[in-house]
Chain A
Amino acid sequence: MGQDIAEYGGAFKLTEGFVDQFGKDRIRNTPICESAIVGAALGLSIKGMKAVMEMQFADFVTVGFNQIINNLAKLHYRWGENADVVIRMPTGGGSAAGPFHSQSNEAWFTHTPGLKVVYPSSPSEAKGLLAAAIEDPNPVLVFEHKNLYRSIREDVNDDYYTIEIGKANLVQTGTKASVITYGMGVHWAKQIAEKHNLDIDILDLRTLLPLDLDAIYETANKTGRVCILHEDCLTGGIGGELSALIAENCFENLDAPVMREGALDTPVPFDGDLEINYMPKNRFEAKLLKLINY
Chain B
Amino acid sequence: MATLTKQHIEFDRKDLSNKALKDIYLALIKPRMIEEKMLILLRQGKITKWFSGMGQEAISVGCTLGLNDDEYMFPMHRNLGVFVTRNIPLRNLFSQFQGKMNGYTKGRDRSFHFGSKEHHVVGMISHLGPQLALGGGVALANKLKGEKKVAMAFTGDGGASEGDFHEALNVASVWDLPVMFVVENNQWGLSTPSREQFRCESFVDKGIGYGMDAFQVDGNNILAVYHAVKEISEALRETPRPFLLELMSYRMRGHEEASGTKYYPEGEQDMWAVKDPIDNYERYLKTEGVLTQDEIDTIRKEYKQHIQDEFNIAAAEEHVPVSTENELSDVYAPFNQVVINPKTETKTEKRFIDALQDGLRQSM
Contact = CB atoms under 8 A, between A and B. Distances in A.
Given A74-B125, A162-B339, A152 B130 contact: no
Contacts of B327: 77
Interface string A119-154: 000111011111110111110000011001111111
Contacts of B167: 33-36, 39
Contact of B141 (A31, A49, A129, A162): A49
Interface residues of A, number: 81
B114 A40 contact: no
Contact of B345 (A21, A153, A157, A160): A157
Contact of B349 (A13, A38, A149, A153): A153
Given A78-B105, A136-B337, A137-B333, A126 B352 contact: yes
A122 B352 CA distance: 7
A165 B337 contact: yes
B164 A136 contact: no
B15 to A, nearest CB: 33
A16 B341 CA distance: 26
A271 interface: no
B243 to A, nearest CB: 17
B342 A161 contact: yes
Among B131, B167, B359, max chain A CB count under 10 A is at B359
A162 B337 contact: yes
A156 B66 CA distance: 55
Contacts of A273: none
A231 to B, nearest CB: 15
Nearest to B144: A25
B356 A14 contact: yes
Size range of the interface on B?
Answer: 35 or more
Nearest to A114: B331
A82 B117 CA distance: 12
Nearest to A16: B357
Contact of A46 (B138, B348, B353): B138
Given A22-B364, A43-B140, A136-B335, A123 B352 contact: yes
Interface in B297-352: 327, 330-333, 335, 337, 339-352
18 contacts: A14-B357, A36-B136, A43-B141, A46-B141, A47-B141, A78-B105, A116-B332, A123-B351, A124-B355, A127-B358, A127-B359, A130-B356, A134-B363, A152-B352, A154-B349, A154-B350, A157-B344, A161-B340
Interface of B: 72, 104-105, 108-109, 113-117, 122-123, 125-127, 129-142, 144-145, 151, 163-164, 167-168, 170-171, 174-175, 327, 330-333, 335, 337, 339-364
Given A82-B333, A123-B355, A153-B349, 19 more contacts: A13-B353, A26-B364, A39-B134, A47-B141, A71-B130, A77-B327, A78-B113, A81-B115, A123-B356, A127-B356, A131-B340, A137-B335, A150-B351, A150-B353, A151-B351, A152-B351, A157-B346, A160-B340, A162-B337
